[in-house]
Amino acid sequence: MELWLSSAFKSLIEKEDFVDCRVIVESQAFPCHKVMLAAASDFFKRGFKETATGEVHLENVSADTFKKFRTYIYTYNKDTLAGCNNKSIVKLMECAHMWMIPSLRKACEEIAVSRINQMVLSDLLIYFDSAFKSGNEYMITHTSQALRNWCSSQIITDEVYQLESNTFREVVTRIKGSISERVLFDLVEKYVIMQNHFIAIKDKSSEIEVVDLTETCSSESLPKKDINEEYVKSLISLITFTDMTYSEFIEGPGKSDLILINDKYQFICKIANPNSS
């Protein structure tokens, strides 16, 4: 959009000239123009067709995010987003996905990618989580590479343990190869414990007994979650135990309750004698 036209449309917000609708977000009313919102997204076009009051109420978005969104769709100027922090850019990306606005998504992606090599782990995880949930392959690719670079040279901080289960499993899949299998296993085991998934599998008369050891865990403040054996098995399957040294296995997985005793024996044998069948 031409700079003069962008400035002129922005003044419509500032002066509230010719406003003909309002968008209500978190009890805050934003004066708007139907033509600007409808031109930006069919979501708003349908919304105003379905209301006789000229008001559209939005959920799943904050007033602050909508204010930034409104400024962008009146100007289509990426520079209006340059001062937004990473959390705000992620929220605006999610708006672009919800309301099907490709230009906003592209603007946010360009800003995110320009910052990605300077991001801390917590911001990288925020972007990855949002991209994974929305199926944004472009951002998944870029954040995955950044996560691999981070994990290969930095300490993995506790923000990773706050991820939802499916996102965490995808992160483990993406960073595999950038860290040792022992570190990857420690990451998985700590996540399982902190999230209160099942903690132990024990042999009992040739059957598998799942034991939830979190009942005796000292972390009483942790929320109780349903035991999910299949999920934990899917995490364990991502670990290549035979790539560990003998001492790495003995001191880590060998002492863990996540692995059956028979499986431990098999892994130890393969590590000790890799050429044996």
Q: Where are the domains of the chain?
A: 1-85, 192-277
What's the pLDDT score for residue 49?
85
Give the angle 105-106-107 at the CA atoms, nearest 5°: 90
What's the pLDDT score for residue 224?
41
How far apart are alpha carbons 224 and 228 in whole angstroms? 12
Query: Per-block average pLDDT, block size 10, for the chain (277 residues)?
Result: 64 81 94 93 90 88 96 92 96 95 96 95 97 96 97 92 95 97 96 73 43 43 56 93 95 92 92 79
Cα 93 to Cα 23, 73, 183: the distances in Å are: 19, 13, 32
What's the pLDDT score for residue 206?
37
What's the pLDDT score for residue 274?
81
What's the pLDDT score for residue 222?
41
The verdict on domain 1-85 having CATH code 3.30.710.10 is: yes
Beta bridge partners of 208: 203
Cα 1 to Cα 20, 29, 68, 80: the distances in Å are: 23, 27, 18, 13
- Considering the entire predicted model, what is its pTM? 0.82
